[in-house]
Structure 1
Amino acid sequence: MPDYTDDLRLAHVLADAADAATMARFRALDLKVETKPDLTPVSEADKEAEELIRGQLARARPRDAVLGEEYGSEGGGPRRWIVDPIDGTKNYVRGVPVWATLIALVVRGEQGDEGVVGVVSAPALGRRWWAAKGAGAYTGRSLSSASRIRVSQVGRLEDASFGYSSLTGWDELGRLDGFLHLSRTCWRTRGYGDFWPYMMVAEGSVDICAEPELSLWDMAANDVIVREAGGRFTSLEGVAGPFGGNAAASNGLLHEELLGYLGGA
């Protein structure tokens, strides 16, 4: 199995640079915010963080491709870095601390593309999570100060905690009834939003989560971390990985039931 330790270390360096840039402008009274064509906000911090990451990748991994939320795709080849400079920009611009920089490495193999490195850094929460293929998933301040994380062993939906972002989008997919039925079946439901419920699935404090419409940069890092923590990450149709335009993540034990409620089984 290939060793992705050096790539993981680089991803931490990239996250450190992004954290410095985003925290410097968090809750700044003169923060500049624009509206993108899809009517979602983008701040100057989003752009600066992605520019910093792209610049360091250009120096450290010049042959690798990059896909980022703010500046699109660049380069080609079997290795591609996937970057979301601020996942949770709406929270960021309102001063809510639930946002993170998401960095992943996807490689092309005989079976198709696969995420092999993922880092999720949430500096306003003082949290970071990471994983590399075959090496497990961890949380902590740094590579040298970390605790391994694992998914829960909850095996019944009636005992499960269900995390999601919002109700938006479920009705458009014709899956709102299933979403509401699942919510009523589970022991607890909470709209934590964005990256956070996936990290809680990986840590074992939440058992299932799902979102109806996402981009690759929203999912790639989460996918690696959830899988290396022992869970499953698929589309709502059950296709493994972060490439299906939506997401279902679980401890593995509840995954088929989760897909059944949300129309993917």
Structure 2
Amino acid sequence: MADYHDDLRLAHVLADHADSVTLDRFKALDLAIDTKPDLTPVSDADRAVEDLLRGDLRRARPRDAVMGEEYGSSGGQGPRRWVIDPIDGTKNYIRGVPVWATLIALMELGPGGEQPVVGMVSAPALGRRWWAAKGSGAFTGRSLTRAGRMKVSDVARIEDASFAYSSLTGWEERDRLEAFLDLSRSCWRTRAYGDFWPYMMVAEGSVDLCAEPELSIWDMAATCVIVEEAGGRFTGLDGVPGVRSGNAAASNGLLHGELLQRLG
């Protein structure tokens, strides 16, 4: 089995660099905000973080390709590609809500196609960080040496499950709102935590299932490997494993079949 320890150490360094920029610009009075062609907001902090991490990767991993939310794909044609979401939760970030994170993943080409093998989620305003490497488990803590291992819950009935999501509008726009509401009514508890956080809660065992109807690779690559290494399942709503379906369903594994049946 491949050893990704050095890549995980690098992901921590990248996250440290990202945190220094995002925290410095969080709630800054002169934060510059633009609207992208897809009508979503982007701040100067989003662009500054991606620029910084691309520079770090050019020096540390010059043969690896890089894909980022703000500047697309660049770099080598080899089997490895770093995927960056400089600020997942930009709308929260620009409004002063502390639920946002930098997502960093390493994807590697294998027999089954390109799959995430390292994931890092750093949410400095929450004082939280989560990470995983393929075959090595999932962890949360302050650093590689100050961390606790994560494990998904053992809740086996939808009626006992906590279900997390981002918003209702995406489900409504895709004519899936009734199925979503039906699932919500069946669950013990529902909360719209949003963005990266529900997936980390699934990995920690504090939430049992979550789903989103539309996502990009940079939204999912880091969270996918963390959920899987914590013992959970991460697929598209179509049940296809990985991050290629354009949407996501994550669970503790025990509830995954019913989650897909109700929403897929």
Superposition misfits of 4+ residues, deviation over 4 angstroms: none
- Matched with 1:126 is 127
- Matched with 1:216 is 217
Tell me whether 1:46 sits opposite 2:46 in the alignment: yes
Unaligned regions of 5+ residues in structure 1, if any?
none
Letter in 1 for 2:81: R
165-174 or 143-152: which moved more?
165-174
Letter in 2 for 1:164: Y
- Report matched runs for 1:17-96 at 5 Å: 17-75=17-75, 76-96=77-97
Partner SS state of residue 178, structure 2: helix
Letter in 1 for 2:5: T
- Matched with 1:14 is 14
Partner SS state of residue 118, structure 1: strand
- Report matched runs for 1:1-265 at 5 Å: 1-75=1-75, 76-262=77-263, 264=264
Q: Aligned equivalents of 1:137 and 1:168: distance in 2?
A: 31
What is the CA distance between 1:217 and its match in structure 2? 0.2
What is the CA distance between 1:11 and its match in structure 2? 0.5
Letter in 2 for 1:93: I
Letter in 2 for 1:210: A
CA displacement 1:62-104 (0-9 Å, x = unmatched): 0100000000001222100000000000000000000000000
Q: Aligned equivalents of 2:22 and 2:257: distance in 1?
A: 38
Q: Aligned equivalents of 1:175 and 1:164: distance in 2?
A: 14
Unaligned regions of 5+ residues in structure 2, if any?
none
Partner SS state of residue 107, structure 1: strand
Partner SS state of residue 170, structure 1: helix
Give the TM-score of the pair, scaled to structure 2.
0.99
What is the CA distance between 1:209 and its match in structure 2? 0.1
CA displacement 1:121-143 (0-9 Å, x = unmatched): 00000000000000000000000
Letter in 1 for 2:201: M
CA displacement 1:202-254 (0-9 Å, x = unmatched): 00000000000000000000000000000000000000001110000000000
201-210 or 67-76: which moved more?
67-76
Partner SS state of residue 171, structure 1: helix
Q: Aligned equivalents of 1:192 and 1:231: distance in 2?
A: 19
Q: Aligned equivalents of 2:145 and 2:71: distance in 1?
A: 32
Task: Tell me how large the CA RMSD over aligned residues is.
Answer: 0.6
Task: Give me the identity figure in percent.
Answer: 75
How many residues are treated as equivalent by the alignment? 263
What is the CA distance between 1:173 and its match in structure 2? 2.0
Q: Aligned equivalents of 2:111 and 2:235: distance in 1?
A: 19
Give the TM-score of the pair, scaled to structure 1.
0.98
Partner SS state of residue 206, structure 2: coil
Partner SS state of residue 215, structure 2: coil
